[in-house]
């Protein structure tokens, strides 16, 4: 009985850690995509700063900068939303795992009696 409980808990523990690792990798990927996109926007802004006949007209330069800033803000909001969702999932699986751990420990105590 006790050995069966141990095996069941080990499976649950393996599942928890693999799911946690998957979510952490997903979060790292989102952050990497954010860095890549922000670098891309930075490169675009550097290109706009170069003197060209089209961008030297002030309203055009302002429009481009506004678009770049809006893109940056939108990216920040999307990343924050994704990050909050992943953090929520991590917290939920942690909570479920610790409930299962408490149940396992209680069952193990009962089996010893």
- Is residue 103 within 8 A of residue 12, CB to CB? The reply is no
Q: What pLDDT does 79 receive?
A: 94
pLDDT band at 55 (very low <50, low <70, confident <90, very high): low
Is pLDDT at 58 greater than 90 in this prediction?
A: no
pLDDT band at 56 (very low <50, low <70, confident <90, very high): low
**Distance of alpha carbon 104 from alpha carbon 6, whole angstroms:** 8
Task: Tell me the whole-structure pTM to 2 decimals.
Answer: 0.75
Q: What is the tens place of the pLDDT at every residue in 4-53?
A: 878 888 999 999 999 999 999 999 999 999 999 999 988 888 877 776 66
DSSP state letters, 5-65: HHHHHHHHHHHHHHHHHHHHHHHHHHHHHHHHHHHHHHHHHHHHHS--TTTTSHHHHHHHH
């Amino acid at each position: 009985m006790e050995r069966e409980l141990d095996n069941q808990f080990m499976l649950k523990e393996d599942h928890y850690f693999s799911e946690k690792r998957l979510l952490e990798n997903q979060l790292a990927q989102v952050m990497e995509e954010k860095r890549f996109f922000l670098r891309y926007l930075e490169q675009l802004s550097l290109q706009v700063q170069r003197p060209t006949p089209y961008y030297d007209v002030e309203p055009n330069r302002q429009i481009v900068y506004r678009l770049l800033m809006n893109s940056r803000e939108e990216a920040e909001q999307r990343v924050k939303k994704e990050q909050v969702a992943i953090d929520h999932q991590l917290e939920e699986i942690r909570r479920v795992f610790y409930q299962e751990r408490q149940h396992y420990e209680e069952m193990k105590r009962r089996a010893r009696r």
